[in-house]
Amino acid sequence: MAGLGAVESDVPKLAVLPFDADFTRVEDQKDAIMIRTLIEELFVAGKPFVIIPPEQVHKLFTNGEIPKDIYQDHYLAKFKEAGINFVVTADLVIAKKRYTMRLYLLNITQGSFITSEVVSFGKSVREIRQGINKLILKFLENDEVSKIYTDAADGTAGEAGMPKYAIGDTGPGGGLVFYIKPTSSGGWRYMEAAPADIDVELPWGTYAEDLWKPNIPETQAEVGQGKKNTALLTGTPQDAAQVREDELDNITSENSMQEGAMQPEPGNKDSTQAAQNETLEKNQQTAAAACAEYQVNGLDGWFLPSKDELDLLYQNIAQRGLGNFKGISYWSSTQSSESTAWYQRMEDGRLYYNGRKTMLLHVRPVRAFK
């Protein structure tokens, strides 16, 4: 049997198998697929593994069905022949409207398992991401996991096919890396935040003569959409066209509308609106325009993050007390209605869908690179 594609032979290769879960609801089945994708991404972010695509793993077995007893010698031999170093599987069950999960990392060479702790998390997209993020990052700190990785990858750091950065590393623009894709599809693999906020708080848009500007319903929430959103919001469609739809991530996003979302401070609405419009006239910028024009360390190409990108920035950087966040509330590039857009509080991670576009909030540019 031939190996699985042209992947560097000395880079640790990892396959994440379907979970041992008996889900009948379509929603739960979709969650299981999303969890599997998140596990792949977080393993790559924490250690420079090369992920073997699921469809290639399935080809190793009769009818594409992966057996449950993969630790048997004849199955281990299939993985070895294919050049796979490690296999991840998991038990995933539903208990009281929550998921409970335990990971197993199989060392193909030794035929031994390393088991994670059991974690429980809610079923919203946000709770799933936070639960899996916590589980994987802690699992990768395990001494046994670190040792088997080091033994397999000794002397290979920085080679082709392996990430050059980890979550929290300083990127080329001087900010912190907050997201890593398994591959460089679409011409990028990493996202970094700018080293600091834009100097002034800015509105998302303006309101005059009964018109909200910009009003772009096509803005999206998913990871990989922030650059296109920013191009749309700043009126540069030729830039947006360069961001190909088929090269963007399709990480499932949650279109949740939280109750008790923040409202503008009480007071005279007309005077507040006039003051905000006067501020906009002075700086002649919206949040998206400021990001599009931003440059630091000789690098441009910055954009206003989408809702899900902003949430990853909170989960992987701000929540850990990193990133030099001076403000509380930050704009995303995702519109929620003609008059409102999504924003997030960096002190507690809460997302709000009803940010009035003329509100003055903090802005943190981000950029994608490979």
Give the dihedral of Cα atoms 123, 320, 167, 103; nearest 10 deg: -40
**pLDDT(276) > 70:** no
Helices (H), the chain: 26-46, 54-58, 73-81, 125-140, 143-153, 226-233, 237-242, 269-283, 287-293, 307-316
Mean pLDDT of the chain: 78
**Cα separation, 339 vs 356, whole angstroms:** 6
Q: How much is the pLDDT for 130?
A: 86
β-bridge pairing 351-356 and 50-51: unpaired
Overall average pLDDT of the 117-128 stretch: 88
Q: Which residues are CB-contacts of 89 (< 8 A; sequence separation ≥ 6)?
A: 16, 17, 18, 19, 20, 70, 103, 104, 106
Q: Which residues are CB-contacts of 142 (< 8 A; sequence separation ≥ 6)?
A: 114, 116
**Cα separation, 332 vs 311, whole angstroms:** 9
Looking at residue 20, the DSSP 8-state letter turns out to be B
13-153, CATH topology level: Rossmann fold (3.40.50)
Asked if 349 contacts 319 with a C-beta cutoff of 8 angstroms, the reply is yes
Q: How much is the pLDDT for 318?
A: 93
Give per-residue pLDDT as tens, 82-110: 888 888 888 888 877 888 888 888 888 76
**pLDDT(241) > 50:** no
Domain ranges in the chain with CATH number 3.40.50.10070: 13-153
Q: How much is the pLDDT for 252?
A: 34
Query: Confidence class of residue 4 from pLDDT cuts 50, 70 and 90?
Result: very low
Q: How much is the pLDDT for 249?
A: 41
Q: What are phi and psi of 67, to 5 degrees?
A: -70, 155
Asked if 286 contacts 355 with a C-beta cutoff of 8 angstroms, the reply is no
DSSP letter for each residue of 283-338: H---HHHHHHH--BTTB---BPPPHHHHHHHHHHTGGGT-S----SEEEEEEE-SS
Q: How much is the pLDDT for 240?
A: 40
**pLDDT(8) > 60:** no
Give per-residue pLDDT as tens, 124-171: 888 898 888 888 877 877 776 766 656 554 433 333 345 578 788 899
**pLDDT(349) > 60:** yes
Query: Confidence class of residue 73 from pLDDT cuts 50, 70 and 90?
Result: confident
**pLDDT(46) > 50:** yes
